[in-house]
Structure 1
């Protein structure tokens, strides 16, 4: 009976480890996906007529737009996404909220954002801000 209990405990521990490993975010969970911004810090987005988006390409290349377009090479460390050497265009938008969103996405991606991926949504957050995106079709 002791052997059976030890065996059952060992199997349960291994199953727990396997579950944790499968919950870790990988580049494949993001690649070839495009998301459109829906809310910032719990408030629905109302600033712009255009779609503010983020997309993930091969080898976790990140690109998107707020007021300006941004792009760079993403890296995952667990569920934290960082974009080293992020580049962007430098236009000034007539809509002040879009200018603020440019700064916000730049801060999130260069310092690291915790990523939560659900079947139809993506959430990027740090201690101060939360951006919620809805999965979209590719329009390019």
Structure 2
């Protein structure tokens, strides 16, 4: 009987400790999710404007070529790739950006305009790492890095 009481006490105390650990883990997880949402909202407020493409992989874009990205409060992204307009829904996740369900006009582009169009479309359509410095937005994709400056 004494052994039964000791085992019962051991079981109950183990269960109580396990429950308290689970609650602590749950609270930590909720805090991390909340902190991630705050960071995502902060990042969103910083990019919620119109951007002008400045360079691709460190090479400046000619002033004659207009490639833009505009992000509105409803997380809609619109702009110009190089010769075609585009639109889609912005996704921010873990310091990355992606334009989901991206659609665009289908005008024929040639030469450098076509190259820029393909690169910009690829970076925006796939998950790209996002960084901000000195009024610049940097999107680093699998193969290319786009640098945008805030449009005045």
Report the CA distance between 1:50 and its aligned residue.
4.3
Q: Work out which of the two has the higher radius of gyration on C-alpha atoms and give 1 or 2.
A: 2
Task: Compute the TM-score of the two structures, normalised by the length of structure 2.
Answer: 0.67
- The answer on 1:87 being equivalent to 2:87 is no
Measure, in 1, the Cα distance between the counterparts of 2:123 and 2:117: 10
Measure, in 1, the Cα distance between the counterparts of 2:39 and 2:99: 22
Structure 1 unpaired stretches of 5+: 1-16
Q: In the alignment, which of 86, 103, 106 is matched to residue 70 of structure 1?
A: 86
Report the CA distance between 1:128 and its aligned residue.
1.2
Give the secondary structure class of the aligned counterpart of 2:74.
helix
What is the total number of aligned residue pairs between the two structures? 116
Give the secondary structure class of the aligned counterpart of 1:122.
strand
Task: Compute the TM-score of the two structures, normalised by the length of structure 1.
Answer: 0.73
Report the counterpart of residue 30 of structure 1 in structure 2.
Answer: 47
Note the aligned Cα RMSD (angstroms): 2.1
Report the counterpart of residue 144 of structure 2 in structure 1.
Answer: 129
Report the CA distance between 1:26 and its aligned residue.
3.0
Measure, in 2, the Cα distance between the counterparts of 1:38 and 1:69: 17
Report the CA distance between 1:99 and its aligned residue.
1.1
- The answer on 1:103 being equivalent to 2:103 is no
Between Structure 1 and Structure 2, the one with more strand by share is 1
Report the counterpart of residue 132 of structure 2 in structure 1.
Answer: 117
Measure, in 2, the Cα distance between the counterparts of 1:93 and 1:82: 23
8 Å CA contact 1:39–1:132 kept in 2: the answer is: yes
Measure, in 2, the Cα distance between the counterparts of 1:109 and 1:134: 16
Report the CA distance between 1:53 and its aligned residue.
1.0
Report the CA distance between 1:111 and its aligned residue.
1.5
Measure, in 2, the Cα distance between the counterparts of 1:40 and 1:104: 8
8 Å CA contact 1:82–1:111 kept in 2: the answer is: yes
Measure, in 1, the Cα distance between the counterparts of 2:39 and 2:135: 17
Between Structure 1 and Structure 2, the one with more helix by share is 2
